[in-house]
């Protein structure tokens, strides 16, 4: 006797091939029309610039007059020619930016997470949320101007208050401490709102049950909040990493990339190369290389967080 | 055809006839003034008034389309316009930005325009501002305003230290002696505040010139600041902090100004851009003079704006005449700039009573005559960061002055001579 598969043709009803009726076509077109505006914007403002950017990176390119000669992957190869000063500065900026990512991302995730939990527990949530979000709506220039004044060595209010003479912006490691401090102050609002929203989605009954079992606020935070917020935390972690890799305004306006280029970021180096020195081909290659680093780091983070959660 | 359709056709034809007729009734000159686009990344104060006056006077023949672009973003905006073939006819930016466009052959020589306008550049502009602005012997740009490096002092602090408040230091020895008397570190009061970074881009070239040195050679792209003169210039800044103790160490950017406004810094050597704010903060206690001679001769670095005409195949002879007329009109109305706090560079205006009565302008006009500027080398502004990082390191006592300047010179030379990438 021949065993018949449960999924054999004779038992599975096959949907007959049909010609779409006019109403179905109209319905599908209607659905497509909702996506169309985004598709147009995506094509114009993301896909086209990206393809054009690749084209630029394969040429000598002066932004004043356009394309020079085709150089293939020459601009990318130049990024590994360590005799070239621009390459040396580029790798120095990668080192600087990576250091910033390492020292900023933990704070950009941990501080808003703790604050979000405190707000979650606090009675006047409506008061605290806008207070902590407020710095995020300020422009980079105004935030940096205020902090540049507050962190001055001789006459700055922070040194005045502390009674110290800390060279916040002119010597290391203080320059990084200052940039990190300002970044956390300026941008925790976004992460805080995302994490707070995640907490509000968690089942209150879990907290109640844990409380009945004698869990305190710290135990609930470690054993319930953090594991259940894993997906939200991974998003916040990846977004913070990307934002930190794109560091520009803080060192540009607070330290000018100094002292001695030690806070020069990748974005600033790309900007200098493309707009200051008019080497747009190599600047674009640097930008794509930075994009590759970001994609790799995000992939590793995402995979790691997912595996831990599985 | 239905009646309503016929009515629509008739109404349409009537509208077309009226519109067409209305343009035909006006004189061609009245309807078609030649448009000249003019962009600036400098201060629009005063310029807007001059443009409006010009547009009113020449309303039948020319119209200046004026646009102020953001200073921080000027390269991006202008380069995008150039590649899209939508660059303005007339552009005003600081001199450093003019060099790459001239090297790429995108600017027209300016002398024919000045000649057409009846301007004699050798007599009508401060000599340094004309003589130092040639590229390979050709003038592509003409100056529009200047911003010299000057000395500010706090008369109240001078008086409190037993110094004559109306007699600022004129030599290095006087400067150091006065600053020592003015400094009271325990009270947080300093004779002078030397920042490692800003305003070195104004002060270092000034001191370098005073000691007889040059930053670089525009023709050969050779860097020259790692010279005895360059070392003397940075040594003076260093000594202010570590030898004479007239300045605090580790001052951060902007600290010199903030302490000056707070009455805790007695003297500043920086650009004249701070005059209005300093006057507002210190009032009659503000002293304002040309730089003391720290080196061997009087020299001061000039911040500035220049204008040039972009090459454009559609630029008609009439439009060129219009540009020349506007230039002359602009210079003849320089008093509008001065009233707005911008220093014009029109020599004939300097002797006029209306100009001389504006506070602070006589000092600046005198400073223009001893002005020096950065060499006209494309990319100088960005590559200059190597120099200012080097000065920064030397003033933070991390590296010796000759070593810092030598390394910066090598780095700048390599950067400025890098082939197109």
HEC-encoded secondary structure of A173-206: CHHHHHHHHHHHHHHHHHHHHHHHHHHHCCCHHH
Q: How would residue A4 be classed by pLDDT, with cut points 50, 70 and 90?
A: very low
Q: Indicate whether B96 and B55 sit together in one domain.
A: yes
**pLDDT tens readout for residues B120-171:** 999 999 999 999 999 989 999 999 999 999 999 999 999 999 999 999 999 9
Please determine, for residue B27, whether its predicted confidence score (pLDDT) is greater than 60.
no
Q: Is residue B111 part of a domain?
A: yes
Q: How would residue A307 be classed by pLDDT, with cut points 50, 70 and 90?
A: low
Q: Indicate whether B134 and B184 sit together in one domain.
A: no
Q: A136: exposed, middle or buried (C-beta count within 10 Å: 0-12, 13-18, 19+)?
A: middle
Dihedrals φ, ψ of A25, to 5°?
A: -60, -45
Please determine, for residue A13, whether its predicted confidence score (pLDDT) is greater than 80.
no
Q: Indicate whether B87 and B210 sit together in one domain.
A: no
Please determine, for residue A260, whether its predicted confidence score (pLDDT) is greater than 70.
yes
**pLDDT tens readout for residues A117-171:** 999 999 888 889 999 999 999 999 999 999 999 999 988 999 999 999 999 999 9
A86 and B421: CB-CB below 8 Å? yes
Chain B residue with the nearest C-alpha to that of A254: B253
**A62-66, A155-159, B28-32, B386-390: the lowest-pLDDT one:** B28-32
Q: Is residue B348 part of a domain?
A: yes
Q: Indicate whether B261 and B317 sit together in one domain.
A: no
Please determine, for residue B116, whether its predicted confidence score (pLDDT) is greater than 90.
yes
Q: Indicate whether B94 and B209 sit together in one domain.
A: no
User: What CATH topology corresponds to A89-309?
Assistant: MetI-like fold (1.10.3720)
Q: Residue A33 corresponds to which tokens in the numbers above?
A: 């029309």
Please determine, for residue A7, whether its predicted confidence score (pLDDT) is greater than 60.
no
Mean of the per-residue pLDDT values for chain A?
Answer: 90
Please determine, for residue A3, whether its predicted confidence score (pLDDT) is greater than 60.
no
Q: Indicate whether B235 and B355 sit together in one domain.
A: no
| Pairwise CA distance, residues A193 & A113, whole Å | 10
Domain boundaries, chain A: 22-75, 89-309
Q: What is the CA radius of gyration of chain B?
A: 26
Q: Indicate whether B131 and B161 sit together in one domain.
A: no
- What pLDDT does B75 receive? 85
Q: Is residue B246 part of a domain?
A: yes
Q: Is residue B25 part of a domain?
A: no
| Pairwise CA distance, residues B64 & B38, whole Å | 7
**pLDDT tens readout for residues A164-206:** 999 999 999 999 999 999 999 999 999 999 999 999 999 989 9
Please determine, for residue B386, whether its predicted confidence score (pLDDT) is greater than 60.
yes
- What pLDDT does A29 receive? 86
**pLDDT tens readout for residues A287-302:** 999 999 999 998 888 8
Q: Indicate whether B283 and B404 sit together in one domain.
A: yes
Q: How would residue B87 be classed by pLDDT, with cut points 50, 70 and 90?
A: very high
Residue of B384, B397, B421 to mutate, interface with A, max A Cβ within 10 Å = B421
| Pairwise CA distance, residues A175 & A187, whole Å | 18
**pLDDT tens readout for residues A48-71:** 999 999 999 999 999 888 888 999
Q: Indicate whether B254 and B159 sit together in one domain.
A: yes
**pLDDT tens readout for residues B209-252:** 999 999 999 989 999 999 999 999 999 999 999 999 999 999 99
CATH number of the domain within which B382 lies: 3.40.190.10
Q: Is residue B141 part of a domain?
A: yes
Which residues of A fall within a CB distance of 8 Å from B104? 62, 64-65
Please determine, for residue B69, whether its predicted confidence score (pLDDT) is greater than 80.
yes
In SS3 terms, chain B reads as CCHHHHHHHHHHHHHHHHHHHHHHHCCHHHHCCEEEEEEECCCCCCHHHHHHHHHHHCCCCEEEEEEECCHHHHHHHHHHHHHCCCCCCEEEECHHHHHHHHHCCCEECCHHHHHHHCCCHHHHCCHHHHHCCEECCEECCEEEEEEEEEEEEEHHHHHHCCCCCCCCCCEHHHHHHHHHHHCEHHHCEEEECCCCCCCHHHHHHHHHHHCCCCCEECCCCEECCCCHHHHHHHHHHHHHHHCCCCCCCCCCCCHHHHHHHCCCEEEEEEEHHHHHHHHHHHHHHEEEEECCECCCCCCEEEEEEEEEEECCCCCCHHHHHHHHHHHHHHHHCHHHHHHCCCEECCHHHHCCHHHHCCCCHHHHHHHHCCEECCCCCCCHHHHHHHHHHHHHHHHCCCCCHHHHHHHHHHHHHHHHCCCCC
> How far is B39 from chain A, CA to nearest CA, in Å?
16
Q: What percentage of chain A's residues is helix, strand, coil (to nearest 5)?
A: 70, 5, 25
Q: Are A159 and A152 in contact (CB under 8 A)?
A: yes
Q: Indicate whether B107 and B176 sit together in one domain.
A: no
Q: How would residue B7 be classed by pLDDT, with cut points 50, 70 and 90?
A: very low
Tokens 């607070």 -> residue? A254
Q: Indicate whether B101 and B161 sit together in one domain.
A: no
Which residues of B fall within a CB distance of 8 Å from A165? 250
Please determine, for residue A18, whether its predicted confidence score (pLDDT) is greater than 80.
no
Interface check for B13 against chain A (CB to CB < 8 A): the answer is no
- What pLDDT does B16 receive? 45
Domain that holds residue B345: 30-147+303-372
Please determine, for residue B349, whether its predicted confidence score (pLDDT) is greater than 50.
yes
Q: Indicate whether B399 and B354 sit together in one domain.
A: no
Question: What is the pLDDT averaged over residues A214-218?
Answer: 92
Which residues of B fall within a CB distance of 8 Å from A75? 421
Q: How would residue A12 be classed by pLDDT, with cut points 50, 70 and 90?
A: low
pTM of structure: 0.84
B188 and A260: CB-CB below 8 Å? no
Partner residues linked to B305 by β-bridges: B145
Look at chain B and report how many structural domains it folds into.
Answer: 2
Q: How would residue B29 be classed by pLDDT, with cut points 50, 70 and 90?
A: very low
- What pLDDT does B20 receive? 43
């Amino acid at each position: 006797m021949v065993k018949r598969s449960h999924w054999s043709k004779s038992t599975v009803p096959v949907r007959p091939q049909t010609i779409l009726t006019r109403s179905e076509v109209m319905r599908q077109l209607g659905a497509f029309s909702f996506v169309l505006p985004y598709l147009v914007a995506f094509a114009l403002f993301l896909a086209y610039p990206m393809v054009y950017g690749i084209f630029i990176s394969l040429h000598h390119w002066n932004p004043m007059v356009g394309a020079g000669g085709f150089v293939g992957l020459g601009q990318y190869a130049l990024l590994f020619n360590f005799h070239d000063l621009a390459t040396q500065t580029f790798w120095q900026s990668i080192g600087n930016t990576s250091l910033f990512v390492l020292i900023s991302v933990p704070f950009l995730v941990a501080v808003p997470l703790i604050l979000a939990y405190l707000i979650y527990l606090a009675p006047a949530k409506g008061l605290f949320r806008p207070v902590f979000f407020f710095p995020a709506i300020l422009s980079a220039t105004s935030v940096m101007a205020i902090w540049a004044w507050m962190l001055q060595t001789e006459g700055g209010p922070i040194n005045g208050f502390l009674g110290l003479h800390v060279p916040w912006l002119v010597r290391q490691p203080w320059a990084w401490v200052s940039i990190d401090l300002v970044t956390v102050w300026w941008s925790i609002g976004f992460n805080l709102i995302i994490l707070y929203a995640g907490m509000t989605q968690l089942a209150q009954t879990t907290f109640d049950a844990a409380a009945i079992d004698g869990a305190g606020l710290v135990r609930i935070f470690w054993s319930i909040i953090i594991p259940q917020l894993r997906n939200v935390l991974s998003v916040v972690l990846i977004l913070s990493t990307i934002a930190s890799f794109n560091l520009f305004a803080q060192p540009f306006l607070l330290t000018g990339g100094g002292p001695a280029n030690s806070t020069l970021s990748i974005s600033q180096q790309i900007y200098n190369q493309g707009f200051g020195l008019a080497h747009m081909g190599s600047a674009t290659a640097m930008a794509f290389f930075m994009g590759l680093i970001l994609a790799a780091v995000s992939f590793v983070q995402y995979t790691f967080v997912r595996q831990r959660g599985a | 055809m239905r009646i309503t359709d016929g009515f629509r056709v008739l109404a349409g034809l009537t509208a077309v006839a009226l519109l067409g007729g209305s343009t035909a009734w006006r004189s061609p000159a009245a309807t078609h003034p030649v448009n000249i686009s003019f962009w600036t990344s400098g201060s629009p104060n005063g310029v807007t008034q001059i443009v409006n006056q010009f547009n009113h006077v020449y309303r039948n023949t020319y119209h200046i389309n004026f646009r102020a672009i953001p200073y921080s973003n000027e390269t991006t905006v202008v380069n995008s316009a150039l590649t899209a073939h939508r660059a303005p006819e007339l552009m005003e930016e600081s001199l450093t930005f003019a060099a790459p466009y001239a090297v790429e052959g995108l600017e027209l020589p300016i002398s024919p325009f000045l000649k057409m306008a009846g301007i004699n550049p050798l007599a009508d502009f401060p000599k340094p501002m004309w003589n130092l602005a040639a590229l390979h012997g050709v003038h592509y740009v003409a100056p529009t305003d200047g911003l010299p490096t000057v000395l500010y002092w706090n008369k109240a602090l001078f008086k409190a230290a037993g110094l004559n408040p109306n007699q600022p230091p004129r030599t290095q020895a006087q400067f150091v002696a006065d600053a020592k008397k003015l400094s009271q570190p325990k009270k947080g009061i300093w004779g002078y505040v030397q920042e490692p970074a800003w305003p070195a881009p104004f002060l270092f070239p000034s001191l370098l010139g005073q000691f007889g040195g040059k930053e670089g050679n525009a023709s050969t792209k050779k860097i020259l600041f790692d010279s005895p003169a360059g070392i003397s210039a940075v040594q003076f800044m260093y000594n202010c902090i570590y030898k004479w103790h007239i300045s605090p160490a580790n001052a951060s950017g902007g600290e010199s100004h903030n302490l000056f406004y707070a009455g805790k810094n007695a003297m500043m050597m920086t650009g004249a851009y701070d005059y209005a704010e300093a006057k507002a903060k210190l009032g009659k206690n503000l002293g304002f003079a040309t730089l003391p001679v720290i080196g061997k001769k009087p020299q001061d670095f000039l911040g500035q704006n220049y204008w040039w005409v972009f090459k454009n195949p559609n630029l008609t002879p009439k439009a060129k005449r219009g540009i020349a007329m506007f230039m002359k009109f602009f210079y003849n109305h320089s008093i509008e700039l001065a009233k707005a706090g911008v220093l014009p560079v029109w020599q004939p205006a300097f002797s006029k009573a209306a100009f001389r009565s504006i506070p602070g302008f006589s000092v600046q006009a005198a400073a223009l005559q001893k002005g020096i500027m950065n060499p006209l080398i494309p990319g100088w502004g960005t590559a200059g960061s190597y120099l200012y990082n080097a000065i920064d390191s030397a003033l933070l006592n991390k590296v010796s002055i000759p070593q810092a300047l030598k390394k910066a010179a090598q780095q700048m030379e390599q950067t400025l001579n890098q082939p197109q990438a």
